């Protein structure tokens, strides 16, 4: 079997744990952390903002490292630090410690073992099937969204939030880390084989120029993609991090709230597979616009506070939308910046997206504390996505990876 599919398996598992925890499971811990430290919702949300802020520094560094050094060991180190960070988080004694440790752990895990590293690695192994490979790899985030919250809920019911974090830490160190070491290889040349496209693609890759950081920042595509996705990720992750609290506040049980999170993950599997295949055949901008439309509809349904069945529908739409985000984004980056500079382009986009994402968690917490409801926040966030949709209109996508640094 083509070794690239083993790489897909490794990135699948890495994203399952990194995104499965930080995107899908954090909201389950929020009520327990608030009670433990006696703090407001906004104060707990500072931990997520801290993680995105620290990503301003780590993402560009990780991007350069992914282009220059063995990805296998970069992802292994990030996974080990992820496990250690969760163990430390479980033993914090104040909200300040919790915020700092959470922020460091989140930024390290995302930068060195999460989506950017996974997308960079998979993209270098595939050409004609890149969208499908990225989609399958990204399904790991949805599987993680099912499995990790289920584990966390079980541990919360049998012990407490600190034990849940310690158990997850051990699982990452003892299971995930060895699996990544066995399956991840950064480039086909690392094991003496060719990428999916064979000799022609290897020659094209070797002749492709290495873009400087300044070249990437000056490229219009950097801004069109970064601002659009930054706004989308900001509102999406902020609501997803609070969806359990939202549901419980409207009378749902803890089990129903966890079902909403799982609905996002389950429908995300379908979305990633469909969008991943479409990314190889259809217009990438259209795919991202469809994702944005699904998020808008979901937010409007949630803002209506219509009851649990429609909450479940909205969660499903959010999952389908998430299916378009990662594979389409990854395919766009290859088409705009090429593979030689893919890692640093993804890393440099990190700070831009972070600046868009960072206020979302605090805005959500502040509006909830002021109104006692997520309704205003949901309406505001739906409007932001509407305003972001025209930003992709001028984006130019080449038919294949670019061989020149010229923007356009």
Helix (H) or strand (E) holding 49, with range, is: helix 41-68
Question: Distance (Å, rounded) from C-alpha 377 to C-alpha 387?
Answer: 15
Mean pLDDT of the chain: 86
Question: Is residue 275 a part of any domain in this protein?
Answer: yes
The yes-or-no verdict on residue 52 having pLDDT over 80 is no
Q: Which domain holds residue 308?
A: 4-187+211-392
CB 325 within 8 A of CB 141: no
The yes-or-no verdict on residue 206 having pLDDT over 70 is no
Residue 370 token pair = 């002021």
The yes-or-no verdict on residue 203 having pLDDT over 70 is no
User: Among residues 103, 112, 71, which one has the least CA distance to residue 85?
Assistant: 103
What is the reported pLDDT for 405? 39
Tell me the per-residue pLDDT of 276-287, one tens digit each, with 9 for 90 and over.
777 777 788 888
Question: Distance (Å, rounded) from C-alpha 181 to C-alpha 175?
Answer: 11
Among the listed ranges 24-33, 148-157, 202-211, 330-339, which one has the minimum average pLDDT value?
A: 202-211
What is the reported pLDDT for 169? 96
Question: Distance (Å, rounded) from C-alpha 324 to C-alpha 307?
Answer: 27
In order of 66, 109, 134, the CA distances from 69 in angstroms are 6, 17, 21
Among the listed ranges 29-43, 222-236, 333-347, which one has the minimum average pLDDT value?
A: 333-347
Phi and psi at 10, nearest 5°, equal -65, -45
C-alpha 146: how far from chain center: 15
283 Cβ contact list (under 8 Å, min separation 6): none
What is the reported pLDDT for 408? 34
Looking at the structure of the chain, the number of domains it has is: 1
| Of residues 354 and 111, more confidently modeled | 111
Tell me the per-residue pLDDT of 287-335, one tens digit each, with 9 for 90 and over.
899 999 999 999 999 999 888 999 999 999 998 898 778 778 878 888 8
- CATH number of the domain that residue 148 is part of: 1.20.1250.20
Question: Distance (Å, rounded) from C-alpha 62 to C-alpha 84?
Answer: 19
Name the DSSP letter for residue 176. Answer: I
| pTM beyond 0.85, yes or no | no
Question: Distance (Å, rounded) from C-alpha 383 to C-alpha 395?
Answer: 22
């Amino acid at each position: 079997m083509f070794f690239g599919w083993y790489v897909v398996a490794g990135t699948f598992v890495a994203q399952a744990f990194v995104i499965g925890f930080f995107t899908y499971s954090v909201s389950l811990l929020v009520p327990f952390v608030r009670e433990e430290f006696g703090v407001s919702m906004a104060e707990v949300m500072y931990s997520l903002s801290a993680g995105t802020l620290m990503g301003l520094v780590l993402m560009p560094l990780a991007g350069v490292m992914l282009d220059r050094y063995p990805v296998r060991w970069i992802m292994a180190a990030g996974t080990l630090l992820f496990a250690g960070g969760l163990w430390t988080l479980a033993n914090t004694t104040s909200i300040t410690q919790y915020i700092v440790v959470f922020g460091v752990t989140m930024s390290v895990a995302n930068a060195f073992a999460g989506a950017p590293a996974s997308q960079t690695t998979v993209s270098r192994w595939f050409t004609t099937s890149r969208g499908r490979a990225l989609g399958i790899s990204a399904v790991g985030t949805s599987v993680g969204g099912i499995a990790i919250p289920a584990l966390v809920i079980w541990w919360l019911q049998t012990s407490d939030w600190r034990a849940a974090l310690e158990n997850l830490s051990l699982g990452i160190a003892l299971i995930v880390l060895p699996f990544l070491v066995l399956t991840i290889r950064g480039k086909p040349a690392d094991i003496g084989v060719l990428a999916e496209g064979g000799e022609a693609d290897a020659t094209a890759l070797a002749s492709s120029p290495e873009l400087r950081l300044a070249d990437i920042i000056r490229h219009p595509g950097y801004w069109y993609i970064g601002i659009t996705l930054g706004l989308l990720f900001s509102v999406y992750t902020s609501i997803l991090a609070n969806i359990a609290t939202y549901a419980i506040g409207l009378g749902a049980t803890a089990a129903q709230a966890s079902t909403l999170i799982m609905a996002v993950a389950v429908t995300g599997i379908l979305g990633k597979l469909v969008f991943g295949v479409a990314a190889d055949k259809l217009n990438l901008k259209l795919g991202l616009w469809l994702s944005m439309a699904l998020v808008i509809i979901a937010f409007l349904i949630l803002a209506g506070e219509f009851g649990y069945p429609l909450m479940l529908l909205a969660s499903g739409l959010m999952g389908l939308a998430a299916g378009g985000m990662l594979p389409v984004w990854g395919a766009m980056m290859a088409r705009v910046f090429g593979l030689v500079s893919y890692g640093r382009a993804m890393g440099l986009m990190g700070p831009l997206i972070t600046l868009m994402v960072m206020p979302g968690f605090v805005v959500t917490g502040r509006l909830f504390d002021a109104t006692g409801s997520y309704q205003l926040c949901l309406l505001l966030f739906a409007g932001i996505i509407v305003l972001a949709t025209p930003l992709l209109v001028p984006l130019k996508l080449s038919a294949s990876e670019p061989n020149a640094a010229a923007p356009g």
